[in-house]
Structure 1
Amino acid sequence: MKQASCGVDFGTSNSSIALAQGGQVRLVPVEQDSVTIPSAIFFLKKETLVGRAAVQRFLQREDGRFMRSLKRVLGTPLMNTGTLVNGRSMTFATIIGTFLAHLKARADAETGHPVEEVVMGRPVHFVDGNPAADAQAEKELRQIAESVGFRHISFQFEPIAAAFAHEQRVSGEKLALVVDLGGGTSDFTVIRLSAANAAKADRSSDILANTGVRIGGNDFDKNLSLAEVMPELGYRSTYGDKRIEVPLRPFHDLSEWSKVNFLYTLKTISQTRQMWYQSHDKIRFGRLLKVLEQESGHVLLAATEDAKIALTEDESYPIPLNFLEEGLTIPAGRSHFEDAIREDVAQITASATACLLQAGVSAADIELVILTGGSTEVPLIQSEFRKLFPGAAIADENKLSSVGLGLAYDSHNKFGR
């Protein structure tokens, strides 16, 4: 069987792996028949699960340690401190490696031999405004890739990879803007696409600019949570004789996938319980205490994410919180959601505009806008980019798999598989 190379899209929310073999590129089924997998891992006492299986078993309230949004830990001090997993210390390199090893094992099984050549996707900026942390994040991801068996490792910006995937269907030459909105970052590339150049190993002359900002779908979850859910858990309520506002940090951490687990400490729960005794809103603040005691923060955030997804189609959605109180629902409206994320969307569109400026082109010059990543389905995002580029064609198919495919096309050009 012919040797193969691959592209790995390790995403904040979802991941994929695609093979380049004998000049053909294909996505690998990574969880049953699905070619994408949630970037989630669940350490139970006697087994470790990834993807949908991890999410399903966690939501069944089995004992263990559940994690999502691991990509956001790269380049941060948490990579060095690690975390407790079922009573024992574990580094995030080991945790991320466990997830990536699953992807590689599926690719190895598909080809019948170890796949050692890989193009890893990466955001334009792992960490905003910190080149040293950004370089460290790539170094850490390289070391993790090596630890699971990859020997020849290259990196490519995720929006460029998405462009390579769409280029396979481009006729003639087009000036394109790639809008890649993932769970943790929003990245942009201005690139010249053409079928004639698709097989070139070096595309640097076609790539006019790259920009990015560390804002994505997880931030939309957080802002929706703070706007609609956390007030029903006592957010900004008061306690004590002096009517002091309760600390805001637990609510913010409870609204962010990568920080939820760090709230389940005896100190945090004890402090919250003491404030509850003095709370002026015992019912709502008591819900916060219950979430911490039950360690059900991820269940709460999953309900918020479901609401975000539902609001892409519906104007309103009742968020069910039966696990806290029988019959408890929180009404969420699209207009409130859009108000909550408006500042984030402004930063996202500002980064896209900066990409045009860096490329030396105007919005009118863009012939094709490629939307990729699940967050591009948010109606406010759709309307803003259609407003910015009224004369451009919009391509938004394969939102969750185009980066993985494009990375595999890049691996074919780089490694000759």
Structure 2
Amino acid sequence: MRSSRIGIDFGTTNTSIARAEGGQVTLAHFAAQAGETPSYRSLLYLEQAREKNRPVVHSYTGPAGIERYLAADHDSVGTQGRLIQSLKSYLPSKTLTGTEVFGRRYTLEDLIARILTDVRVAAEKQFGHEIRSVTAGRPVRFVGSDSEEDDAYAESRLRQAFQIAGYEDIRFQLEPIGAAYSYEASLERDELILIGDFGGGTSDFSLLHVGPSFRNQEDRGKSMLGTSGLGLAGDAFDAKIVRKLVSPALGAETLARSLNKLLPAVPNWIYANLERWHYLSFLRTRNVMEILGRAEKSALEPEKITSLITLIERDLGYQLHQAVQRTKVQLSLTEAAEFYFRDDDLELRAMVTRAEFEGWIADELQAIERTVQKLLDETGVQPHQIDRVFLTGGTSFVPAVRTIFHRMIGEGKLRTGNEFTSVAYGLSLSA
């Protein structure tokens, strides 16, 4: 069996890996407390412990990283643990080369490689052979990328991370193409399809021919009509929920008296970091805690600042994100939902309607629609010529997102795939 028939989708939030053999695809499953899962959280938890009177740093990734993080003591600023997430979103940045943790410098590539190594080792145990060759997904446009040069730089860094993790032969394929292969696997006739792949940080779109006539073509590039992408997706929607529901409950609109004037109690940049929930650990510094301590004493609503301090001191970014996710999912199912977050004595609760949420994300929805329209304009394809729209990724279940495609392409053409594993499934077939 050729190990090159391996597809891996390293995502901003989740990673999955699949093997194709004899036309059959097997997804790797990973151990977790709640049972096995085919999606591996793309996060890293570094923890410093003393062993034989000297500090030693241990790393945990995926489900094990989450479990270790949740089991750790986060009640003091001095807790020796660091949760690092959304590493993929930093790949295009030429200024962010790495970070220092517990006095040691780590490059971005090293941190990503830790996740990719653990995914490879777990998959090797399940598949029963070494994995050295892989077809890896990449977005059409990386988060934060402003040019093709930025995308090429991001891809080169991702390639280096794969190499550090022990992968020797790496071939990159666009993530929406992986989704297309996944959809094509069940087709009995040719179709022209529009693929929408919504990740945590990017939304990618492709127009291509799929089906029996194209399935065995050696060069699938001939069936590709065009691609387009933008650097926003689920994380941007989450940020709006934090801005509109969470931050006000934590003092974002609270004033404080200063020389007979009323001024914002807390600088806005702190709440901006709160919106990027994986930045919460970066707020656990002496400088930030001193700012918040002074704000707590002078604020007109000190209890809200107290809640913000508690959230940061306990490093509750992951738990906050889970509450935001639950709210977003519920809004995809019902016309209203309650945001609810609790950790011991800290409790946040607020109601939101689907209409309100759609108003908050109106700019993002328009950006998605413009990107799809640009793809249609550049390829000269008319909506009636498109047979199917295949959407994958968690954001594809947001009703307002689906409405874009119903309105632009037509009712009854929408199909969806598994939000976390469709791309890896298809990448293994493309290998």
Same fold (TM over 0.5): yes
CA distance in 2, matches of 1:91, 1:362: 46
> How has the CA–CA distance of structure 1 residues 216 and 83 changed in structure 2, closer, same or farther, with 3 Å as cutoff?
farther
CA distance in 2, matches of 1:78, 1:235: 29
CA distance in 2, matches of 1:344, 1:291: 28
Give the one of 384, 389, 397 matched to 2:417: 397
CA distance in 2, matches of 1:167, 1:150: 28
Q: Does 1:316 align with 2:340?
A: no
TM-score (norm 1): 0.92
> How has the CA–CA distance of structure 1 residues 78 and 262 changed in structure 2, closer, same or farther, with 3 Å as cutoff?
farther
> How has the CA–CA distance of structure 1 residues 120 and 14 changed in structure 2, closer, same or farther, with 3 Å as cutoff?
same
Give the CA deviation at 1:68.
Answer: 2.1
Give the secondary-structure state (helix, strand or coil) at the position aligned to 1:196. coil
Give the secondary-structure state (helix, strand or coil) at the position aligned to 2:293. helix
Q: Does 1:130 align with 2:147?
A: yes
Question: Is 1:367–1:391's contact at 8 Å kept on the other side of the alignment?
Answer: no
Q: Does 1:252 align with 2:255?
A: no
> How has the CA–CA distance of structure 1 residues 355 and 98 changed in structure 2, closer, same or farther, with 3 Å as cutoff?
same
CA distance in 1, matches of 2:420, 2:313: 35
Which residue of the partner structure matches residue 385 of structure 2?
Answer: 365
Q: Does 1:353 align with 2:373?
A: yes
CA distance in 1, matches of 2:95, 2:193: 37
**Matches for 1:292-303 after TM superposition, within 5 Å:** 292-303=312-323
Give the CA deviation at 1:178.
Answer: 0.3
Give the CA deviation at 1:83.
Answer: 3.6
CA distance in 2, matches of 1:160, 1:372: 12
Give the CA deviation at 1:132.
Answer: 2.7
**Matches for 1:5-404 after TM superposition, within 5 Å:** 5-31=5-31, 33-45=36-48, 47-62=58-73, 64-77=81-94, 79-84=96-101, 86=102, 88-126=104-142, 127-239=144-256, 240-241=258-259, 242-245=261-264, 246-323=266-343, 325=345, 328-391=348-411, 393-404=413-424
CA distance in 2, matches of 1:79, 1:99: 19
> How has the CA–CA distance of structure 1 residues 337 and 271 changed in structure 2, closer, same or farther, with 3 Å as cutoff?
same
Question: Is 1:8–1:16's contact at 8 Å kept on the other side of the alignment?
Answer: yes
* AA aligned opposite 2:415: A
Give the CA deviation at 1:3.
Answer: 4.1
* AA aligned opposite 1:377: F
Question: Is 1:369–1:392's contact at 8 Å kept on the other side of the alignment?
Answer: no
CA distance in 2, matches of 1:281, 1:337: 26
Give the CA deviation at 1:198.
Answer: 1.2
CA distance in 1, matches of 2:244, 2:324: 11
* AA aligned opposite 1:339: G
Give the secondary-structure state (helix, strand or coil) at the position aligned to 2:161. helix
CA distance in 2, matches of 1:149, 1:404: 19
CA distance in 2, matches of 1:2, 1:133: 33
Question: Is 2:386–2:409's contact at 8 Å kept on the other side of the alignment?
Answer: yes
* AA aligned opposite 1:41: L
Moved more, 243-252 or 202-211: 243-252
Give the CA deviation at 1:61.
Answer: 4.8
> How has the CA–CA distance of structure 1 residues 387 and 56 changed in structure 2, closer, same or farther, with 3 Å as cutoff?
farther
1:91-134, Cα deviation, whole Å (9 max, x unpaired):
32222111111111123223333211111101111133233322
1:272-321, Cα deviation, whole Å (9 max, x unpaired):
22233222221222222222233223332332222112222233333333
TM-score (norm 2): 0.89
Give the CA deviation at 1:87.
Answer: 5.2
CA distance in 2, matches of 1:163, 1:328: 41
Identity level (%)? 29
Question: Is 2:3–2:130's contact at 8 Å kept on the other side of the alignment?
Answer: no
Question: Is 1:6–1:19's contact at 8 Å kept on the other side of the alignment?
Answer: yes
Give the CA deviation at 1:145.
Answer: 0.5
Moved more, 308-317 or 375-384: 308-317
Give the CA deviation at 1:55.
Answer: 2.5
Which residue of the partner structure matches residue 414 of structure 1?
Answer: none
Give the secondary-structure state (helix, strand or coil) at the position aligned to 2:306. helix
Moved more, 23-32 or 247-256: 23-32
Structural RMSD (CA): 2.1
Give the CA deviation at 1:235.
Answer: 1.0
CA distance in 2, matches of 1:92, 1:220: 25
Question: Is 2:7–2:18's contact at 8 Å kept on the other side of the alignment?
Answer: yes
> Structure 2: which 5+ residue stretches go unaligned?
50-57, 75-80
Moved more, 18-27 or 250-259: 18-27
Question: Is 1:236–1:248's contact at 8 Å kept on the other side of the alignment?
Answer: no
Give the secondary-structure state (helix, strand or coil) at the position aligned to 1:180. strand
CA distance in 2, matches of 1:295, 1:179: 34
* AA aligned opposite 2:162: A
> How has the CA–CA distance of structure 1 residues 224 and 326 changed in structure 2, closer, same or farther, with 3 Å as cutoff?
closer
Give the CA deviation at 1:228.
Answer: 0.9
> Structure 1: which 5+ residue stretches go unaligned?
412-417
